[in-house]
Structure formats: C-alpha cells, structure tokens
Structure 1
Amino acid sequence: QSAFIGWSALAFTAWDLFLDPQMVGWGLWVWQEPGAFHFFGIPWSNYAGWLLAALVLTTAASLIAPVRRLPVAPLLLIYGITWFLETFGLILFWNQPGPGIAGGVVMGVFLLAALRRAAGRRA
C-alpha cells in the first residue's frame, strides 16, 4: 500500500513537468524569482509541493478505494493519453521541446512501468 502511494505520487508529479512550463508559456502565471535551480523557469520547490500534495491525495484516496479494487485499464488509458497529448503537444504545437521531451521521458517511464506491472498481473 505505501509503495503504491509513493509511486502514484511520483507519477502524478511527473505530469507537472509538462503542465507548469506549459502554463507559464501561455502566460497564465509567472514565477517572479524561480531561483538558481529551476526547471524551465519553475522552481524545484513547486514540484516538491506537488509531490507532497499528491502523497496526501493518494493516501486519502487509498483509504476510500482500496488499491486492489481500482480499475487499472481505464486509469492507464487516461495516463497514457495524457502522456501522449502533453509530449507531442508541447513539442509540435506549443514550441516547448525541452519540457516536452523531459516530461515525456519521465512520465513515460512511469507509464511503461505501470503497463508492465499490469501485463504481469494478467499473465
């Protein structure tokens, strides 16, 4: 259960590698001082905050819906579609190849790991 919560929170936070640079690129918000260490203008502390929020949300959700009852296929489909649209949208349409590639790799690793695990359960 705790491993599921940790991996889920990391996978959720991986999505923000796309989302925050995209929103800043669109001018929806601005980081006045991202600091010396940042990811395409987004301070790393933002990602730490999202990780903490994801840990809290995933923990709460696991108390409501036990992990063994989750509909794995639809959840993987949604995550996969999000990965695809964000990766290729940022690279091809929004002229943000850096976040597109980085987010695509990181979120893609979580997607592939989840697909392999799901395939192993069916075998």
Structure 2
Amino acid sequence: MGTETTGAEAPILILTGNALEAVDITDYLMRRGLDNVISATKIELCTAFLDDRTPPPRLVFFAFSLSEPAAGDWLLTARAKGWRIILVNGESTEPELQDLPMLTRPFSTSHLDAVMILAGE
C-alpha cells in the first residue's frame, strides 16, 4: 500500500450519523492523548477512507445502521482490509462481525475504556 501511517500517527475514524456521539467519543480520545481523530456523519462521505491510496486508520468507531446497504458494504470492506473496528450499538447477526468489540449506548468512560482494551488500545 505504499507509505502507510502507523501507530499514533494514523487517524482514528468516528463514523456515526449522530454528531453529539462523535463529539463525545472525540473528547474521550483526546483526553487519552489521541488527537488525530476524523469523523463523518454521512456514510456516503466514508468511501474515500477505503481508497488504497489513503493510509489505513488506527481504529474505527462505526455507528451507522447495518440495515443500510451502503453501511454494511463499507463495514465488510473495512473488515476485509483487516482494520480494527468498534461497533457502536452494533447488533449484527453476520458471522464475520460477531467478534468485533461493541459499545452500547448510553456509554460512559468506563465503557469506552473497556472497549478500547478489547480493540487492543
């Protein structure tokens, strides 16, 4: 994939239709010293992140409804790339998604801490 951004330099993506949720997660990450955070509130804007010319993210918080075909397709593509993903309110019956860490609303700092550990952070 050419020159890749790794470790602390790689961005963390917060993909959610809920702007307040994005702010809450961003605030949490910044308090942990993780300030390279990018958020998107429309799934249509997320396709650019999948471009192989774009460095892969460090971690993805994914909160779009999997009942939306575009969201499901995006998630499966990111998963196939081996990206670390945390589902937010993810209720999936897809076998390939069952092992993803899940964050359930409403969440607190302790919930975020626990899911970050599950994601390897």
Q: If the length of structure 2 is used for normalisation, what is the TM-score? A: 0.27
Comparing both chains, which one has the higher relative contact order based on Cα–Cα distances under 8 Å and sequence gaps of 6 or more? 1
Q: If the length of structure 1 is used for normalisation, what is the TM-score? A: 0.27
Identify, as 1 or 2, the structure richer in strand: 2
